[in-house]
Amino acid sequence: MTVEALGEKTKTATIIVNTRAQHWSEKKITFEQVVELAFPGQPYDSAGTTVEYSRGHGADHALRPGKNVEVKDGMVFDVEPANRS
């Protein structure tokens, strides 16, 4: 099997969003999609929402509204308003 053939094959990754396992079959995931996985159907303020990821490709980082990130199996996301003290 060639490398290209591998890439075309649809693989489902398991990502963890706010501790819960989710299946994701696309190569990338957007900020909005992560929030939707965390809080399905709930309205939110994107500017006041922090999305963090760990165990992805490269260093841990924040995912900003309108942006996406490459998905890796076992990737961990945190979605929080982080507005309490």
Partner 1 sequence: MSNLPTGPDSSIARLVADGYDLVLRSGHLIIRRLPYLAPSGLRRDGQLVLPVTILEGVLTDATDHRIWFDGEEPRDENGGPLATLDPHDFGVGERAEFMMSFKPPSGAYAGLHDKIRQYAHILRNPAWQIDPTVADITDGSYQVVPDDLPLVYPDTNTTRAGLITLNNLFRGHTIAIVGVGGTGSYILDQAAKTWVDRIILIDGDRLETHNAYRAPGAVAIEVLAAQPNKAEYFAAEYGRMHTGITAHPVALAEGNLHLLEGATFVFLAAADAEARPAIMRWLRDRGVPFIDVGMSFREGEHGLTGIAKVSAYLPGEDSPLPTAPAIPPGEDDYSSNIQLAELNALNAILAVIRWKRYLGFHATHAASNLTIYKLFSNEIRNGDLE
Rounded Cα–Cα distance for residues 6 and 10 (Å): 9
10 binds partner 1 (CB under 8 A): no
- Are 35 and 45 contacting, i.e. CB atoms less than 8 angstroms apart? no
Cβ distance to partner 1 smaller for residue 29 or 75: 75
Amino acid found at 82: A
13 binds partner 1 (CB under 8 A): no
User: How many CB atoms lie under 10 A from the CB of residue 49?
Assistant: 21
Cβ distance to partner 1 smaller for residue 8 or 29: 29
Cβ distance to partner 1 smaller for residue 73 or 81: 81
Candidates 54, 70, 73, 74; binder of partner 1 (CB under 8 A) is 54
